Amino acid sequence: MSNGKQNKTVFTIFGGTGDLTYRKLLPAFYNLFSLYKMPQDFEILILGRKEYTTESYIEIIKPWLKKFTRTNFRDEVFDRMSEHIQYLVINFTEEADYALIKDVYEQWGGVQQRLYYLAVAPQFFAPIAHSLKNSGILDEKDSHQVMIEKPFGVDITSAQMLHQQMCQAFNDESIYRIDHYLGKEMIQNIMSVRFNNTLFEGIWNNLQIDNIQISALETVGVENRGAYYDQTGALKDMVQNHLFQILSIVGMEKPEDASAYDIQSEQVKVLDALIPIEKGKLREHLVLGQYSSGTSSDMTVKGYLEEENINTNSTTETFVAMKVFIDTPRLAGVPIYIRTGKRCDRRSTEVAIQFKAPEGILPNLLIIKIYPDEGIYLRFNAKKPGTTPEVVPVFMDFCQSCVYENRINTPEAYERLIEAAFKKDKALFTSWAQVLSSWKFIDHLVERINEEQMILHPYPSGQSGPHLADEMLRVDGRHWIDEEHG
């Protein structure tokens, strides 16, 4: 069908000399290209302020790709891909410069599918969208899609304002909001496991489930992102987006079909059903922490307050543990414990479903392992081999990432997301309704935190957060589960 000039796909990256482009976006393109998954006729237009030429830019990115591609790096593949890359010096805050972009598109000609990836700080999203519109670039009859990274606002009001501004240039259908957790293999797999196994789906309810735990612990600190992080904190950096995505997939009803609309509508129903935390009850539901100095991966590390670009008396939380309930017929009354933190004792993202059990019997446990291992762990009880009738816990441990073929066939999050965007599949992106619903809950929570002057608990780097996070579960007669300590 392609005649070379028609059906060209043009991917334009604003912020082409930033970390995200070097570490994630270009390696994702390389992987897609080497696996023959790029559209047949494509170009990548890189925009940056630095005075590079296309040739010098290609030299600069080569070592980054060598380091960060998932598939084997081959010079010959890189050279072929580089033929599709063009670097253009522009200042994206200067509307006049957009004429240069327009010239490049015109030189390519034909009907184009255009994707604009805004790998820039969020305050530039709306100005770039406006300049694209004012320069007439969006008037052309091509298909236009814009991809943006979180944060989508810092609360519901700013999110609404951003949305309104973006919608002056793009319609909502063409706005692709990235939550890279949706590109993770095992997060997508939660739906498959739930809806394709009567074994699980039949017991996925409040008659059988005792509690659910969603945990994302990191060993890294704020790294070089102090300025952003200090304004944001763990609640808005991780819970409002990534962890609520997981929560809504764990709690949702089966979508009618695999369309983005159906999946996202079911997810939104779960977010809308989150029960706001009552006045005076905050301390039973929430623990906020901040890391102090300590040992991480055998190294002595600074406390949060000593990190670069952090206010010396900052009260920003680097750890959150929270107990929430959702008011849906399926899971009403089941506590959902959420936990995330930086500078913890381990890097681990997982979902644990603990089932109810009669007195004296160890509860069944299902753990969906998202990172670093990808897999599913199931614990049940069986007879101890021998002549006594003793019952002992045993487990089945399916390690998806242990199998070489699985590992090399598992796309990285950005690879999957870029491919989905080319195909206009919005199921892997955050819908506007999801943004609204999650901010509604978080805004209410932040209001409570301020009203009740929530205390921030320090925890030494290298621990799994403040002790009070364990206490929150202990008073409920429970504990945090992970495979080793389950």
- Interacting residues with ligand BG6 (CB under 6 A): 180, 218, 237, 349, 371
For residues 250 and 244, what is the distance between their CA atoms, to the nearest angstrom? Answer: 10
**Residue labelled with tokens 């063409």:** 174
Q: How far is the CB of 179 from ligand BG6 (least distance, A)?
A: 8
The token duo for 122 is 């969020």
Catalytic residue at 242?
Answer: yes
- Beta-carbon contacts of 31 under 8 Å, excluding residues fewer than 6 positions away, are 69, 70, 71, 411, 412, 415
Phi/psi for 331 (5° steps) reads -120, 10
Q: For residue 169, how many C-alpha atoms fall within 13 Å in the half-sphere facing its CB?
A: 23
In the complex, which residue's CB is closest to ligand BG6?
237
Q: How far is the CB of 9 from ligand BG6 (least distance, A)?
A: 27
Compare residues 73 and 371 and give the one whose CB is closer to ligand BG6. 371
Which residue among 180, 242, 285, 444 is the active-site one? 242
For residues 349 and 271, what is the distance between their CA atoms, to the nearest angstrom? Answer: 20
The token duo for 390 is 């003793």
The token duo for 105 is 């598109």
For residues 368 and 352, what is the distance between their CA atoms, to the nearest angstrom? Answer: 6
Compare residues 234 and 277 and give the one whose CB is closer to ligand BG6. 234
Q: Which amino acid is at 63?
A: P
Spatial strand order in the sheet of 429-430: 85-89, 42-48, 8-14, 112-118, 143-149, 175-178, 429-430
Q: How far is the CB of 191 from ligand BG6 (least distance, A)?
A: 19
For residues 296 and 311, what is the distance between their CA atoms, to the nearest angstrom? Answer: 22
Compare residues 17 and 349 and give the one whose CB is closer to ligand BG6. 349
Q: How far is the CB of 156 from ligand BG6 (least distance, A)?
A: 19
For residues 118 and 127, what is the distance between their CA atoms, to the nearest angstrom? Answer: 11
The token duo for 102 is 């327009």
Q: How far is the CB of 218 from ligand BG6 (least distance, A)?
A: 5
Q: Please give the distance of CA 98 from its chain centroid, rounded to a whole number.
A: 31
- Residue 143 forms beta bridges with which residues? 113
Q: How far is the CB of 122 from ligand BG6 (least distance, A)?
A: 12
Compare residues 218 and 373 and give the one whose CB is closer to ligand BG6. 218
Burial class (CB in 10 A: 0-12, 13-18, 19+), 377: buried
Compare residues 349 and 438 and give the one whose CB is closer to ligand BG6. 349
Compare residues 113 and 248 and give the one whose CB is closer to ligand BG6. 248
Q: Whose CA is closest to 158, among 468, 463, 446?
A: 446
For residues 372 and 407, what is the distance between their CA atoms, to the nearest angstrom? Answer: 12
Q: How far is the CB of 118 from ligand BG6 (least distance, A)?
A: 16
Kind and range of the H or E run holding 99 = helix 98-108
- Residue 41 forms beta bridges with which residues? none
Compare residues 41 and 179 and give the one whose CB is closer to ligand BG6. 179
Q: What angle do CA 274, 376, 403 make, to 5 degrees?
A: 140
Q: Which of the residues are catalytic?
A: 242
